[in-house]
Amino acid sequence: MCGIVGYTGARPAAALVLEGLKRLEYRGYDSAGLAVVSDGRIEVFKTAGKIAALEKELGATLPAGTTALAHTRWATHGAPNVKNAHPHTDCGGTVALVHNGIIENAGPLRAALTKRGHRFRSETDTEVLAHLIEELHAKGAPLVDAVVGALQEIEGAYGIAVLSSREPDNIVAARKGSPLLVAIGQGEHWVASDASAVLAHTRSVVYLDDGEIAVIRPNDYRILDLTAVEKEKTVTHVDWDLGTIERGGFAHFMLKEIMEQPESLRNTLRGRLLEEEGTVRLGGLNITDEDLLKIQRIVITACGTSWHSGLIGEYMMEELARVPTEVEYASEFRYRNPIVDDRTLVIGISQSGETADTLAALREAKRRGARTLGLVNVVGSTIAREVDGGIYLHAGPEIGVASTKGFTSQIAALALLTLKMGRLRALSILQGREVVRALAKLPELVGRVLQTAPQVEQIAERLVRAQNVLYLGRGYNFPVALEGALKLKEISYIHAEGYPAAEMKHGPIALIDDLMPVVFIAPQDAVYQKVVSNVEEVKARGGRVIAILTEGDTGVARLADHKIEIPTTLDLLTPVLSVLPLQLRRVRVVLQRVSRAAVRVDGNVTGQIDVGFVILAGFAPGDTEETLTWMAEKILSLRLFRDAEDKMNRSLDEAHGAVLVVSQFTLYGDARKGRRPSFIDAAPSEVAKPLYERFVGLLKERGAGSGTRVETGEFAAMMEVELVNDGPVTLLLER
């Protein structure tokens, strides 16, 4: 989750690395820091919270210097605070280091270094590396040799970048298990954990492999192995442009990427469909048809959303290609004793191409003699470089942490591979042509489903009071149920589970009542009639059914409380359509955890809090007293992950916290100028204002009883909202 950006060249470095770091914010982090070599010494600036807080600390004048490192940290060792933020330095401030990964033997190394007189300032594992480098560098070793020597002593995973005041134009970077690249400019070079950090300046990059070290200077770079032997590396051209990694007018990256899916699917399929032959062209497999025919078993390994797409691939392979197929969690596959041999094809699926567990699983499979393929989106990624062959998704960069277009492109790529395997075996040319035509039509059908977004948003309201949601599907749509549940958990922080619909009666049925929504993925496929029976079981227990159906359905439709229709396609491709409504979500109240926040109007503070929550409250014309009361009670019952004394799971009153309420118009539009908030049925200002005032009143009434202070901003004014040390966003769906 952490981000690394480093620069050395002729330009002022601080602004450049901060700009690159902002392009990595989507990864999630809890602190940020900067180190600049200036006038022969290293200046370090760190803060808990967001990059904006770091910029505020830096002030209007950034530190001078043409070599710098910047980092965003997601806490693993030590609390998210200033002392644990990166960069970390040695005892004398000669060396500064940023690190992604975990050093597994940090404990004994810290103890040994402490005995040798080193002073530790943080609780992190990373600081150990700074002191190990210091010991060698202080004895006269060049920085690169000191880094090589230090790395010999550690166990674990790392992507690091290191500065030294003694070598002010140099950055030394190293990788083992955590992505890192060198970006090549004119008279300047970069190191970064992701290409998106440098695309504004160059598209020429060199991806480091595990066990490699880079030494970059303004005018050249070298790649070495861990014995300091120089290596030749291929320069990769990144095809993405800057526009593809920006929001382009959408409220957030996830929504942008959902709406991009017609085009991302076209890109995945482009040039690969051969309708006349009823097959596909896959130039990157690097496996002959004869060798594919020798494959007796397929193992698909992946994590998270990619594992769900792998399940769909399993169904495809066994039905169309008639090849026994298993799907394994990569994190489990790598640590057990799997049975694979040279007649096994192991397929690793990873959007980024850098998923550590999936990469390790593929390496284990290769070690045992299996053929390996990768389905990845990022060209030049580690998995793409290490497998025998594969299929690039060409879906474009996926910035949102919750995968959307990556998932649908993975399904399409698995269908391509299935068609290739099937046509080599038992699948007829007529069947092949049918699949090719259905694939070609898929982007258009996806566009049609996305046009139903307003309807989906209205139905999403039904989930808001639920503490639990059940997603059910059968056949190809059981993995879609799993994916839908995962998306609800990731995005809405509501507990959800996905089940095969027939398994509902073996336990989950006991939980169903009128407060527990049940989402059925029920297109008219081969198991449709079975799903109808499952829906009837839920309705018999008073359950509320939200159904995703084929257009024109009359069976499940008559039983469902709410329905979303999708077009007809082949059974194996229905997941691409049925998952789309599950990706779309709507938000009425957004809360941001903060350690300090203030609202200013025309320079004057109108509301200010320390520990607590900032609430952006939106209202619709139909909101009732009951709705407002529920919203107020929900907010006041929220708990802080950690308070200022590092005590965990604290209520607002226990943490002496407060809430700061602003209206929907504050951030989304000025009501006086006729602009409207972004959600579809937002109330106009004359309706929203009394609802806002009543909502604030309810918060204050109930907050007074629990000792929670409530502050407000001025309704409908354009405000500057300042957030300091803000934590993870919590989203509550509207009631």
Residues whose CB falls within 8 Å of the CB of residue 624, separated by 6 or more in sequence, listed in order: none
Does the structure show a pLDDT above 60 at 722?
A: no
pLDDT average, residue stretch 560-564: 89
Told to judge if 641 belongs to the known catalytic residues of this protein, a careful annotator would answer: no
Question: According to the model, what pLDDT value does residue 247 have?
Answer: 61
What stretch(es) of the chain map to CATH 3.50.80.10?
589-732
CA 289 – CA 281 distance, rounded (Å) = 12
Q: How confident is the model at residue 344 (pLDDT cuts 50, 70, 90)?
A: very high
pLDDT of residue 187: 95
Fold of the domain spanning 589-732: D-tyrosyl-trna(Tyr) Deacylase; Chain: A; (3.50.80)
What does the pLDDT average to over 329-349? 94
Query: In the chain, where does the domain assigned CATH 3.40.50.10490 lie?
Result: 244-450, 453-583
Which one-letter DSSP state was computed for residue 62?
P
Specify the range with the lowest mean pLDDT, choosing from 301-305, 326-330, 579-583, 686-690: 686-690
Distance in Å from the first CA to the final CA of the chain: 32
Helix (H, G, I), strand (E, B) or coil at 696: helix
Q: Which is nearest to 518 in space by CA: 635, 411, 505, 569?
A: 505
Mean pLDDT of 160-173: 96
Q: How far is CA 596 from the centre of its chain?
A: 26
The residues pairing with 348 across neighbouring beta strands, listed in sequence order, are 301, 374
Q: Answer whether residue 389 shows pLDDT above 50.
A: yes
Pick from 353-357, 573-577, 724-728 the range whose average pLDDT is largest. Answer: 573-577
- The active-site residue out of 408, 664, 708, 712 is 664
Q: What is the pLDDT of residues 179-199, one digit of tens each?
A: 899 999 999 999 999 888 998
Top-confidence residue, 212 or 685? 212
- The pTM of this model reads 0.70
Name the most confidently modeled range: 4-8, 75-79, 395-399. Answer: 4-8
Strand order in the sheet with 221-225: 88-89, 95-103, 156-164, 171-176, 212-216, 221-225, 230-231
User: Are 214 and 222 in contact, with CB atoms under 8 Å apart?
Assistant: yes
Active site residue 351: no
The per-residue pLDDT for range 26-55, each reduced to its tens digit, is: 666 788 999 999 988 999 999 988 888 899
pLDDT, position 668: 38
**Closest C-alpha to 724, from 605, 610, 600, 607:** 610
Cα torsion 390, 394, 396, 397 to 10°: value is 0
Of 37, 30, 43, which Cα lies nearest the Cα of 13?
A: 37
CA–CA gap between residue 403 and residue 417 (Å, rounded): 21
pLDDT at 603 over 80: no
**Is 261 annotated as catalytic?**
no
**Residue limits of CATH 3.60.20.10 in the chain:** 3-238
Residue 277 has a pLDDT of 95
The amino acid present at 126, given as its one-letter code, is T
Is residue 591 scored above 70 in pLDDT? Answer: no
Tokens of 518: 């049940």
Q: Is 472 in contact with 502 (CB distance < 8 Å)?
A: no
Report residue 483's pLDDT band, with 50, 70 and 90 as the boundaries: very high
Per-residue pLDDT at 444: 95
Residue 26 CA to its chain's centroid (Å): 7
pLDDT exceeds cutoff 50 at 555: yes
Confidence tier at 133 by pLDDT (50, 70, 90) = very high
Q: Which of 599, 636, 617, 630 minimizes the C-alpha distance to 690?
A: 617
- Say what the pLDDT of residue 465 is: 54
Residue 123 CA, chain-centre distance (Å), reads 27
Q: What are phi and psi of 346, to 5 degrees?
A: -105, 120
**Averaged confidence pLDDT in the chain:** 85
398-425: pLDDT as tens digits: 877 778 999 999 999 999 999 999 999 9
Residue 669 pLDDT > 50: no
pLDDT > 70 in the chain, percent = 84
Q: Which CATH architecture has domain 244-450?
A: 3-Layer(aba) Sandwich (3.40)
User: By CB neighbour count within 10 A (0-12 exposed, 13-18 middle, 19+ buried), where does 52 fall?
Assistant: middle
Give me the pLDDT at residue 732, please.
Answer: 44
Long-range own/partner contacts, residues 232-237 (CB < 8 A, 24 or more apart): 233/206, 233/207, 234/206, 235/184, 235/204, 235/205, 235/206, 236/204, 236/205, 236/206, 236/207, 236/379, 236/380, 237/203, 237/204
Residue 593 pLDDT greater than 60, yes or no? no
Coil, helix or strand for 582? Answer: helix
Confidence of residue 97 (pLDDT cuts 50, 70, 90): very high
What residues contact residue 604 under an 8 Å CB cut-off, 6+ apart?
none
Given the residues 666, 695, 708, 712, the one annotated as active site: 666
Catalytic, out of 665, 695, 708, 715: 665
Lowest pLDDT segment from 48-52, 509-513, 652-656, 721-725: 721-725
Checking 525-530 for CB contacts under 8 A at 24+ apart, the result is 525/475, 525/476, 525/477, 525/571, 525/574, 526/475, 526/571, 527/474, 527/475, 528/555, 528/556, 529/555, 530/474, 530/501, 530/502
Rounded Cα–Cα distance for residues 540 and 542 (Å):
6
CATH superfamily to which 453-583 belongs:
Glucose-6-phosphate isomerase like protein; domain 1 (3.40.50.10490)
The whole-number average pLDDT for the span 232-246 is 77
Q: What DSSP letter does each residue of 284-304 carry, written as one string?
A: T----HHHHHH--EEEEEE-H
Please give the CATH topology (third level) of the domain spanning 3-238. Glutamine Phosphoribosylpyrophosphate, subunit 1, domain 1 (3.60.20)
